[in-house]
């Protein structure tokens, strides 16, 4: 019941109903036209036949006399070929010459006229047929005679009634069929929407992995479902990212916080000299600075991943940005006794967030500097290739083992070889987040020795 009520309210059903009504109305108009035309045509034919019959009789009368006419009327009355016709000859003063019945009808102008009358006016019949319609041609003859040639309309009426019934039936069938089709179609739509609603409900209840059903038909519903699904995908990603951040915060900030707390507690256990206090406090400030850095890095990653305020993006002059970074790092590399080369193509432009892009490349350069031993080489290149811009940072450090190359982008992951180096294990996570925010791909490959990181931007 609830479903059928809902069905009546669906747009699909209403549309089918309107469609059905319009169609039925058109059908009715067309059929009505056919009906009326047929009726008129039948009447015209009848009138023509009556006229013909009357003319023959009148000519006979003119050629001979009233008795001859009377005789042929009697003949015709018994002729089966003319059994549809009724012939009546009456005189003003006398009774009906043929049947003895006086019709109560006369021509208004005293000459010739057509009329449709009930049979009872013309003939003495059994009561049943008194109301049957007949078509009459009345002809006024001299000396008070009147000739009536009539045709029984019963058969025509039957034909017309049949046509009329057909018209009504057609309209009814059309309406019914349209309604049924509407119901079925509406039902499908209702079921489809019901599924979407149910899925949405499950998602609201917390199951973010649910997706809208998609059929192979690829109609509007499937397309809509697909769009909603990609939206859900994005939402799930964001939720996942947020959850990750909270988890990471819990895991990785707890440890240093605990360390600070323990240190301070130990210091409070007994009186110490000023230098010890100073030193402890200084170390604690350093620790908090590290915590703040980690915290900021996590927030930056989360922001980059959620793609916030993407509408504020600008055209970034990547060439200018990379040249500036090259200049910034070239000096630092020299200080570390590394050779630094940059090869940056002209006019590289990109739609994006300048600060985030700079930070991502900076992180790659920081890593390269950190892991490349003295005497090694760090290279920054940027090239354009088939609608892509490829920014690559290459070093001659120890390299990254094949099996670790996926892992390094996860938060707080620090490979054993990097444990001794300073860092939070968040640098590459940010690179990854910034890359996906800009729909870029990050590729790591080995150089033996060394590592090559590529950011591949699609600038079509």
Partner 1 sequence: MIRTMHTLLIEDDSDTATFIQKGLGESGYNVDHADNGIDGLHMATHGQYDVMIVDRMLPGMDGLTLIEELRKRNIHTPVLILSALGEVDDRVDGLRAGGDDYLVKPYAFSELLARLQALARRSQPEMQGTVLQVGDLRLDQIKRKVTRGDVEIQLQPREFMLLEYLMRHTGQVVTRTMLLENVWDYHFDPQTNVIDVHISRLRRKIDKDFDKPLLHTIRGAGYSLHEP
- Where along the sequence are the contacts to partner 1 (CB under 8 A)? 288-289, 292-293, 296, 299-300, 303, 308-309, 312, 324, 327-329, 331-332, 334-335, 353, 355, 358-359, 362-363, 365-366, 369-370, 422-423, 427
Which secondary structure element, helix H or strand E, spans residue 139, and what is its range?
strand 133-140
By beta-carbon proximity to partner 1, the closer residue of 186 and 427 is 427
Q: Give the C-alpha separation, 76 to 87, whole Å.
A: 8
Scan for tokens 């070889």, then name that residue.
Answer: 417
End-to-end CA separation in angstroms for the chain: 55
By beta-carbon proximity to partner 1, the closer residue of 141 and 415 is 415
By beta-carbon proximity to partner 1, the closer residue of 182 and 450 is 450
By beta-carbon proximity to partner 1, the closer residue of 154 and 362 is 362
- Min separation Cβ 396 and partner 1, Å: 17
By beta-carbon proximity to partner 1, the closer residue of 366 and 410 is 366
By beta-carbon proximity to partner 1, the closer residue of 10 and 353 is 353
Sign of the CA dihedral running 196, 199, 201, 206: negative
- Min separation Cβ 233 and partner 1, Å: 25
- Min separation Cβ 8 and partner 1, Å: 51
Q: What is the CA radius of gyration of the chain?
A: 51
- Closest by Cα among 381, 353, 384, 385 to 368: 381
DSSP percent split of the chain into helix, strand, coil, nearest 5: 60, 15, 25
The verdict on whether omega for the bond into residue 449 sits within 30 degrees of 0, i.e. cis, is yes
Bridge-based pairing of strands 133-140 and 112-118 is antiparallel
By beta-carbon proximity to partner 1, the closer residue of 186 and 425 is 425
- Min separation Cβ 388 and partner 1, Å: 26
- Min separation Cβ 383 and partner 1, Å: 24
- Min separation Cβ 367 and partner 1, Å: 8
Bridge-based pairing of strands 441-446 and 388-395 is unpaired
Q: Give the C-alpha separation, 350 to 320, whole Å.
A: 11
Q: Give the C-alpha separation, 10 to 187, whole Å.
A: 9
């Amino acid at each position: 019941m609830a479903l059928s009520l809902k069905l009546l309210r669906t747009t699909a059903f209403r549309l089918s109903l309107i469609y059905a009504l319009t169609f039925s109305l058109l059908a009715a108009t067309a059929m009505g036209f056919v009906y009326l035309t047929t009726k008129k045509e039948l009447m015209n034919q009848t009138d023509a036949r009556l006229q013909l019959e009357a003319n023959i009789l009148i000519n006979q009368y003119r050629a001979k006399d009233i008795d001859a006419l009377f005789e042929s009327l009697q003949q015709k009355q018994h002729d089966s070929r003319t059994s549809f016709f009724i012939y009546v000859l009456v005189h003003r003063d006398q009774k009906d010459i043929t049947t003895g019945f006086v019709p109560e009808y006369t021509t208004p102008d005293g000459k010739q006229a057509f009329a449709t009358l009930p049979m009872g006016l013309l003939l003495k019949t059994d009561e049943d047929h008194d109301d049957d319609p007949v078509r009459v041609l009345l002809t006024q003859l001299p000396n008070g005679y009147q000739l009536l040639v009539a045709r029984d309309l019963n058969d025509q009426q039957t034909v017309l009634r049949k046509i009329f019934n057909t018209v009504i039936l057609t309209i009814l069938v059309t309406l019914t069929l349209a309604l049924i089709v509407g119901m079925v179609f509406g039902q499908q739509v209702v079921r489809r929407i019901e599924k979407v609603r149910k899925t949405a409900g499950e998602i609201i209840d917390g199951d973010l992995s649910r997706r809208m059903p998609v059929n192979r038909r690829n109609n509007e519903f499937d397309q809509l479902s697909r769009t909603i699904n990609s939206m859900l995908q994005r939402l799930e990603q964001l939720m996942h990212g947020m959850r990750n951040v909270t988890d990471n915060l819990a895991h990785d900030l707890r440890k240093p916080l605990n360390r600070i707390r323990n240190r301070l507690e130990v210091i409070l256990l007994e009186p110490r000299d000023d230098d010890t206090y100073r030193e402890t406090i200084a170390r604690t400030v350093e620790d908090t600075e590290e915590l703040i850095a980690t915290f900021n890095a996590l927030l930056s990653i989360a922001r980059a991943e959620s793609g916030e305020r993407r509408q504020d993006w600008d055209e970034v002059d990547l060439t200018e940005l990379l040249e500036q970074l090259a200049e910034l790092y070239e000096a630092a590399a020299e200080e570390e006794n590394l050779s630094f080369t940059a090869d940056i193509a002209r006019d590289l432009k990109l739609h994006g967030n300048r600060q985030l892009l700079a930070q991502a490349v900076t992180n790659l350069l920081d890593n390269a500097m950190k892991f490349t031993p003295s005497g090694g080489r760090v290279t920054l290149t940027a090239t354009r290739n088939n609608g892509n811009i490829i920014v690559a940072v290459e070093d001659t450090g120890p390299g990254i083992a094949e099996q670790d190359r996926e892992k390094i982008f996860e938060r707080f992951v620090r490979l054993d070889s990097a444990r001794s180096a300073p860092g939070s294990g968040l640098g590459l996570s940010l690179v990854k987040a910034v890359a996906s925010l800009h729909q870029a791909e990050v590729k790591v490959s080995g150089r033996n020795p060394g590592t090559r990181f590529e950011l591949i931007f699609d600038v079509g």
